[in-house]
Homo-oligomer: A and B are copies of this chain.
Amino acid sequence: MKKKVQTAVMGVSGYAGMELARLLLRHPQLESVTPLFLRRAETAGHATPLTELHPHLLDNNGSRSLHVEAFSWDLLKDRGVDVLFLATPHEQSREMVPEAIERGLRVIDLSGAWRLSEAQNRAVYKFEDEGSATAVSVQAKSVYGMPELYREEIKDAELVANPGCYPTSVILAIKPLLASGWVDLDRGIVSDSKSGVSGAGKAPSAKTHFMYAADNLSAYGVFGHRHTGEMLEQLGLQSRQFIFTPHLLPIPRGIFSTIYLSFKEPKQVTEIETCYRKFYENSPMVRLFPAGQLPQIQYSVRTNYCDIGFHLAADGRRCVIVSCLDNLLKGAAGQAVQNLNVMYRWSESEGLA
């Protein structure tokens, strides 16, 4: 008998919330329990049809009758919610998570609120409650939600901090090589990353205007993007060892990271392939390309895969690694569902194929 798991998605009006709704509605393990879709009481008014916010979710047998409701803790209690997904701004997650845990909910937070250690948070996000007893206690329970690295810890986590889109693309591409101890950190690592426009969020802005993004490429946040802290922490690197430059691509979705690093000693192609293969042998959502073949954004868009390929220079030292994923799936909602699967001991790729 299937375990009945009642899920709820807070912040369903954004792109990550939309993808979460889509994935949960078709998840084989959740067939018998309709997820609860929520947004702030202030903006929600009465219940809004889900398809009014996201016409893409329209189908012919029922999705019209799904509604987005105004959030309240009582509503969550009445509906017997087990797992709460937060697709909310950092500050709102920061505020909601302590009470959610207190009320016995399991939380998968897609924001950056609980991803970093206190020290990094102070540098990057500067949350008001940083250092308070509650914040310290909640932070201690938080597990970084990358199943490829923390599968065991996620299983029983009360709070899963779902990784950022860029960090997922970069960490999965570099971690195996760093773990091998081969990388020459003195020469530094560069990640030149490019993201589609959905990464900039649904709110209209000068930067998300079609006229700004189309037929263009721009770099932003050079030496200052807040995802950098997340990468440094998870990779165990120091600031001077790593440069991350994000760019805005004129496409709807997808992240492409071109990563440059050097080895202390010359390596063989097969050594590197073996290194990756071992590291990910139990990770169904990472696809490794044969040496010399590189992934492209199109291959992973609308999937939950992170695709990884590499080229090794003739000197055996300099290596270019390419990693691609869909920023709204493996970079957000898909990874959140992957975490849900791990938490409930379902197949890790359930509902994600």
Contacts and interface: CB of A to CB of B under 8 A. Distances in A.
Nearest to A298: B216
A55 B299 contact: yes
Contacts of A222: 294, 311, 320
Contacts of A301: 215
A54 B56 CA distance: 26
B223 A311 contact: yes
Interface stretch (A92-100, A101-109, A120-128, A189-197): A189-197
Nearest to A215: B251
A260 B198 contact: no
Contacts of A213: 210
Contact of A204 (B15, B208, B262): B208
Interface of A: 15, 26, 55-56, 58-61, 187-188, 190, 192, 194, 197-198, 202, 204-206, 208-219, 222-223, 240, 243, 245, 247, 249-252, 254, 256, 258, 260, 262, 284-287, 294, 296-299, 301-302, 305, 311, 313-315, 317-318, 320, 322, 349, 353
12 contacts: A15-B211, A56-B299, A59-B353, A192-B260, A204-B208, A204-B209, A215-B215, A215-B251, A215-B254, A215-B297, A216-B251, A219-B322
